Amino acid sequence: MTSETSGPDHSPAPARCFGDGDPLYEAYHDDEWGRPVHGEAALLERIALEGFQSGLSWLTVLRKREAFREVFHGFDPALVATMSGDDVERLMGDARIIRNRAKIEATIDNGRAVLALHEAGRTLDEVFWSFAPPPRATNPATFADLEGFTAESKAMSKELKRLGFRFFGPTTAYAAMQACGLVDDHLATCPMVLARTAVADPQAGA
């Protein structure tokens, strides 16, 4: 997907919150970031990738995403949970992914934590979405208006850690909340927000 360079009146098209100029990043912004994510494998993937991203650019993670999906069995919790120390050593030699032993081991432990939730009659989806805050009244003007973590992300991090999840601090939890649609942090000037506003109020852009 490529970004439009101008609007119908030949004025410059509004910039995305992030991603302009890279098709993979643009597609992630337009089609995924901030949209609701449900399902055990999908949420386990987001938790894992947000953990792997810590200290790196998100674009680096996106470029390795298909390899991550391959080596972690599509993030199927039942399959991830069966991975062993031999698998960890194998992944440490796989240059297609981010080779961080602690994060690889945490992802496997997180798969096991999902299965423990299931054995207790709960789901990751249920737990994760229980921390969704009320919708924002307005979208932020800039990312500087946002905190790195919130009361909800701190509570989510604490609960998931209690349930056996690793590498999921309050800041990582908030990034996952943004990515999975628990909060809508697209900027007010983002074309995604402007398009929704135009649909809701056709006179808004007149």
Out of 32, 58, 105, 159, the active site residue is: 58
Is 25 known to be catalytic? no
Is 66 known to be catalytic? no
Q: Residue 82 and residue 9: Cα distance in Å, rounded?
A: 57
Question: Is residue 21 a contact partner of residue 3, using CB atoms and an 8 Å limit?
Answer: yes
Out of 50, 129, 152, 174, the active site residue is: 50
Which is nearest to 113 in space by CA: 44, 15, 19? 44
Q: Residue 36 and residue 38: Cα distance in Å, rounded?
A: 7
Out of 28, 33, 129, 174, the active site residue is: 28
Q: Residue 194 and residue 14: Cα distance in Å, rounded?
A: 9
Triad 187, 19, 8: Cα angle to 5°:
75
Q: Residue 51 phi/psi, 5° resolution? A: -70, -45
Is 28 known to be catalytic? yes
Among all residues, which ones are annotated catalytic?
A: 28, 50, 58
